[in-house]
Amino acid sequence: MSVAVEARGWWGRWRAENQGLIEEWRRSLYRFRQSRLSVLGVAIIIFLLFVAFTGRYWVPYPDDAGFTTHVEIRLQGPSRDNLFGTDEYGRDVFTRTVWATQTSLIAGTVIVLVGGFIGIILGGIAGYFGGRVSEVIMRLTDIMLAMPGIFLALAITAALGPSILHAMLALSITWWPGYCRLVQAQVLSVREEDYVEAARGIGASRPRIIFNHILPNCLSAIMVKASMDFGFAVLSLAALGFIGVGAQPPVPEWGAMISKGREFLPYGWWYSTFPGIAMFLTVFGFNILGDGFRDVLDPRARR
Amino acid sequence: MDNDLLVEIKDLRLNFRTFDGISKVLNRVNLKIWRGDILGLVGETGCGKTMTALSIARLIPCPPGEIVGGEVFFEGEDVLHKTDEEMRLLRAQKLAMIFQDPTTSLNPVFTIGDQMIDIIGSRTDTSKASRLSMLGSLGSLIPTVRKLRRGARERALEMLRRVGIGDAAERIDDYPHQFSGGMRQRVLIATALSGTPSLLIADEPTTALDVSIQAQILRLIEELVDELNLSVLLITHNLGVVAKMCQKVAVMYAGVVVEYGSAIDIFKSPKHPYTIGLMRAIPTYGTKKGEIKGIPGTVPNLLDPPRGCRFHPRCEHAMPRCAEEPAPAPVAAGPDHEVSCFLYS
Amino acid sequence: MGLRYYLLRRLLLIIPVLIGLSIVTFVISHMIPGDPISLAAGPQATAEQILKLQEEFGVDKPLPMQYLTYMKGVLRGNLGTSMMNRHPVSMDLRRYFPATLELVLVSTVLGVIIGVPMAMAAAVFRDRWPDQVSRIVALSSISMPVFWLGMILQLVLGMTWHLLPISGRFDPRVPFPPNVTGMLLVDSLLAADLESFRIALKYMALPAFCQALFGIALITRLLRADILEVMQRDFVVMARASGLPERVILFKYVLKNALIATVAMLGFLFGWQLSGSVMIETVFDWPGVGLYAVKSAMTLDFQPIMGITLFVGLLFTIVNLLVDISYGVIDPRIRYG
């Protein structure tokens, strides 16, 4: 058996070493496919990705994503020309809603990636090395966690000045502590497992232990959290846009559109309704995906 | 049906649905428990001992479990076709069970008194039992419930004293984590035997305990069995315990009862090659190094068990027909001694 | 004895967290690139007026000095003064907080009384329709942008059908119940004023419903998983083997064990709802801390921003402490120490 292991290079070796893990992932994938709701989630997300990245080529009025005005058709209800109606400058709400998909997906990705990256690194360090480093990192995490996120994000965006970039930055800053604590706890529990002990015993290097043995075992927990978080990141960004400290005109963004549309209620109902539905669909897609992930990956929810 | 026959399991087949397929956990299990007997059920881990016991009380979780054939009789009544409520009353009144791990068998967030009172109270109809239990000790505010609870508490105290918890009155309001392992098992025994059961199912009752405590607990069980005139199904893999306590022995291998008979027959003249191997594997005083013989091979995968006799791949007497023909039916090898092996049919 | 020591230690641990929090917020609020002083003074202000304002708010001193001065005030309960309305921040907080607290409490209660039965139904009828329905309801609820949902409800129930008021806490044409706690539902009950209670409840309905959605979803999903997990434990098999009725096993033996994790989560839920109040209060014009924070952020009024951040942080920390203590009530294994 050991001959076969050596023959296949690092990839083969990694596969041989993590056979149990790979088998588990294979089962998870199977179970995931069994759940119709999760498959629906994947379908929604693929649809959204398609809309986000091709939308600008097929929307009916690409110019309306910017600062154009068509006073003669301002605040018109849904019609054949304007599927979702028009806004107060006569711009097509359908075009802007589709355009905003990209904004939200990119923003959500950035927030989760940046927040997750910082959190995983800090949490990994704190969990693996322990001692004073861990103490400092975890206290900082406590401080950040002591603050309901949106208040801090609000303060940061207010201080930096309202813009979508600052909103993303603010959310990334408030996002990492959750990952930090999750990864730290996972690493702490995995670190004492026998197989890590064994790897240490045969003299495996630290990076090797961390990347080959510890991180793969934290991966499922991180994936569950990240997929659930993606929806929340999109929601939070829209919330900041809604309050007025996120995306600024004329950038099409769902939260800002909903907020603007409020001013024209009850007459101009279409203005905020459609961006809201688009947003709900997005967040819903990611949440059912995350829920499916949790069902298959979280051992507590199994059986 | 014979009046002295308490439990009869006939050709019981049980499957479990798992990710990898259908696991054939029990394959035509036959078992008899006579009144007043202590029956030892022995076999390796995972051979279906616990599942056999649970099926008497119809406690197999379905799904994933599924009884695909056979019959189970308790006091001549067909257990598999009773209603849920009849089954609940049967468990409450006639069956007593003690499990392997006393730590996890008690509910951590209620006092032992509360749990014992609930269980003692459950020996009546459901609505009365629920009324007694649901409010816990607050239920005592209602006069009728208070009377019931007081009666049950008296009984609980009496039983606790009987199993050797001297300061029962002080300890009854403690939580499970405040007891030691041996004490918890005593509490569980007291709880199980607080009614008027006719069968005690003891599933490895001492495995999780310190060796020094094990003997005490076994002695306690023996005493109570005598006193209450119980029949016992004792699941264990400790053959020493079986030799000491049991009148009858059933040997299981991979979901099949391969041999059944009196303890004397099984120990003195085992018939099935697996039983013979098992007996040879017992170290006794004076055994020299290298004289203990294990049974070669490993337990089969029940997802895809060997065709024919499930033991044949490890059997030193295996014949062609062992692999070809369907599993051997039990045949008499003496008075009240049955063996499922082609060597004897 | 154990509890008192535990409490003392936990209370002492709050101090470094608060100091850290104050530093973080202080740094953030002083990153402001715009000039809040000239914003507050207005466009026509002279250089002299601006200088006077700068002195008044102490922004002409170096940052560490400003921080120390600020913290000295905080220890005396002085959270600074708003540049916009010149009110002490602590006064405004005292005025706005009861509204937020009332909203959060009502929605938490709603979350529990709707979420717990939904979780139980889902667990008992696992993989059958109640489970699927509750799963979809829960996932839709957490996916719902609450500010949008609030708006739609205002549009349909308020503006179109005129069933419920769309904003504010109370009917402005009716005198408020006498102020005791600042929570209108409680105050009207204390004054035995059922009419006011009814009005307050009507105003509460939409915001509380929107606010409660997340809690309902969270409790439904987590409690369901916990119930299923507890149902696998040995003591449930043992209870069943002893012939306990299924309803006793579920409602007593399983539920109490499963609720431990739900109680643990209430602290997190509280924090989430405080966050949510920012949006809900903006949509429903609910005069609470969230709306106060938004208004202050929009006007770059940094004293209230810091005050609110500190206050909310302290509040959240204390609630988490209370939650930790309340574990012990339902889980006898917890020993404080």
pLDDT in tens, C155-168: 999 888 988 998 88
C117-134 mean pLDDT: 91
First to last CA, chain B: 26
Residue A99 lies in a domain: yes
Q: Inter-chain contact C233–B104, Cβ cutoff 8 Å?
A: yes
Within 8 A by CB and 6+ apart from C42, the residues are none
Cβ atoms of B317 and B343 closer than 8 Å = yes
Q: How many domains does the structure of chain A reveal?
A: 1
Model confidence pLDDT, tens digit, residues B1-51: 456 889 999 999 999 888 778 888 888 898 989 988 899 999 888 888 899
Cβ atoms of C82 and C296 closer than 8 Å = yes
Domain extent at residue A234 = 35-301
| Nearest chain B alpha carbon to C253 | B107
Q: What is the pLDDT of residue B2?
A: 54
Q: Inter-chain contact A276–C317, Cβ cutoff 8 Å?
A: no
Q: Inter-chain contact C17–A150, Cβ cutoff 8 Å?
A: no
Of B106, B122, B177, the CB nearest to C244: B122
Using 50 as the pLDDT threshold, list the residues of chain A that sit under it.
1-5, 300-303
Which residue from A103, A83, A102, A105 is spatially nearest to A94, judged by alpha carbons?
A: A83
Within 8 A by CB and 6+ apart from B109, the residues are B175, C256, C257, C260, C330, C331, C332, C333
Model confidence pLDDT, tens digit, residues B251-277: 999 888 999 999 999 998 898 999 988
Residues of A in contact with B19 (CB under 8 A): 27, 30-31
Residues of C in contact with A161 (CB under 8 A): 33-34
Residues of C in contact with A231 (CB under 8 A): 142-143
Cβ atoms of A212 and A17 closer than 8 Å = yes
Using 70 as the pLDDT threshold, list the residues of chain B that sit under it.
1-3, 287-292
Residues of B in contact with A302 (CB under 8 A): none
- pLDDT value at C336 more than 70: no
Q: Inter-chain contact B123–C233, Cβ cutoff 8 Å?
A: no
Residues of B with CB under 8 A from a CB of A: 19
Q: Report yes or no: B174 at the C interface, CB cutoff 8 Å.
A: no
CA distance C287 to chain B (A): 42
Residues of C in contact with A37 (CB under 8 A): 135-136, 139
Q: For a pLDDT cut of 70, what percent of chain B falls above it?
A: 97
Q: Which chains touch B (3 or more CB pairs under 8 A)?
A: A, C
Residues of B in contact with A31 (CB under 8 A): 19
Residues A284, A271: Cα–Cα separation, whole Å = 21
Q: Inter-chain contact C309–A147, Cβ cutoff 8 Å?
A: yes
Q: What is the pLDDT of residue B134?
A: 79
In degrees, to the nearest 5, what angle opens at C-alpha B322 toward C-alphas B318 and B327?
135
Of C31, C232, C275, the CB nearest to A150: C275
Q: For a pLDDT cut of 70, what percent of chain C falls above it?
A: 93
Q: And the tokens for A292?
A: 């499916």
| Nearest chain A alpha carbon to C17 | A143
Q: Report yes or no: A143 at the C interface, CB cutoff 8 Å.
A: yes
- The pLDDT-based confidence of C290 (bands split at 50, 70, 90) is very high
Q: What is the pLDDT of residue A3?
A: 43
Amino acid at A247: A
Q: Inter-chain contact B91–C235, Cβ cutoff 8 Å?
A: no
Q: Is C77 helix (H, G, I), strand (E, B) or coil?
A: coil
Residues of C in contact with A146 (CB under 8 A): 17, 21, 313, 316-317
Where do the structural domains in chain C lie, given as residue ranges? 2-75, 89-330
pLDDT greater at residue B54 or residue C32: B54
Q: Inter-chain contact C235–B104, Cβ cutoff 8 Å?
A: yes
Our measurement of the distance from residue C295's CA atom to the centroid of its chain's CA atoms, rounded to an integer in Å, reads 18
Backbone angles phi, psi at B241, to 5 degrees: -60, -40
Q: What is the pLDDT of residue A303?
A: 41
C14-40 mean pLDDT: 76
Q: What is the pLDDT of residue C101?
A: 95
The 8-class DSSP code of residue B141 comes to G
C241-249 mean pLDDT: 90
Q: What is the pLDDT of residue A273?
A: 92
pLDDT greater at residue B188 or residue C64: B188
| Nearest chain A alpha carbon to B17 | A303
Q: Report yes or no: A238 at the C interface, CB cutoff 8 Å.
A: yes
> What CATH fold (topology level) applies to the domain C89-330?
MetI-like fold (1.10.3720)
**Buried-exposed string B172-189: b where 16+ CB fall within 10 A, e elsewhere:** beebbeebeebbbbbbbb
Q: Report yes or no: B196 at the C interface, CB cutoff 8 Å.
A: no
Residues of C in contact with B88 (CB under 8 A): 243, 245-246
Q: What is the pLDDT of residue A71?
A: 83
Q: Inter-chain contact A154–C139, Cβ cutoff 8 Å?
A: no
C57-83 mean pLDDT: 82
Within 8 A by CB and 6+ apart from C282, the residues are A242, A243, C147, C290, C291, C294
Residues C149, C142: Cα–Cα separation, whole Å = 11
Q: What is the arrangement of strands in the sheet containing B5-18, beginning at the earlier edge strand?
A: B21-34, B5-18, B65-74, B77-78
Q: Inter-chain contact C274–A158, Cβ cutoff 8 Å?
A: no
Window A:191-210, CB contacts with C under 8 Å: none
Of C148, C229, C312, the CB nearest to A279: C148
Question: Got the DSSP string for A12-74?
Answer: HHHHHHTHHHHHHHHHHHHHHHH-HHHHHHHHHHHHHHHHHHHHHHH-S-GGGGSS---GGGT
Helix ranges (H only) for chain C are 2-29, 36-41, 47-57, 63-75, 89-124, 129-143, 146-153, 184-190, 194-231, 234-241, 246-248, 255-284, 289-298, 302-330
Cβ atoms of B279 and B270 closer than 8 Å = yes
The residue of A140, A143, A303 whose CB has the most chain C CBs within 10 angstroms, and thus the best one to mutate to test that interface, is A143
Average pLDDT for chain C: 87
Q: Which chains touch C (3 or more CB pairs under 8 A)?
A: A, B
Q: Inter-chain contact A280–C282, Cβ cutoff 8 Å?
A: no
**CATH number where A264 lies:** 1.10.3720.10
From the number of C-beta atoms within 10 Å of its C-beta (0-12, 13-18, 19+), residue B326 rates as exposed
CA distance A130 to chain B (A): 31
Residue A203 lies in a domain: yes
Q: What is the pLDDT of residue A35?
A: 74
Q: What is the pLDDT of residue A2?
A: 42
Window A:261-300, CB contacts with C under 8 Å: 262, 265-266, 269, 272-273, 275-276, 279-280, 283-284, 287-288, 291, 298, 300
CA distance C202 to chain B (A): 35
What count of CB pairs under 8 Å joins A to B? 3
Window C:307-336, CB contacts with B under 8 Å: 330-333
Residues of C in contact with B93 (CB under 8 A): 243
Residues of A with CB under 8 A from a CB of B: 27, 30-31
CATH homologous superfamily for the domain B5-84+236-344: P-loop containing nucleotide triphosphate hydrolases (3.40.50.300)
Q: Which chains touch A (3 or more CB pairs under 8 A)?
A: B, C
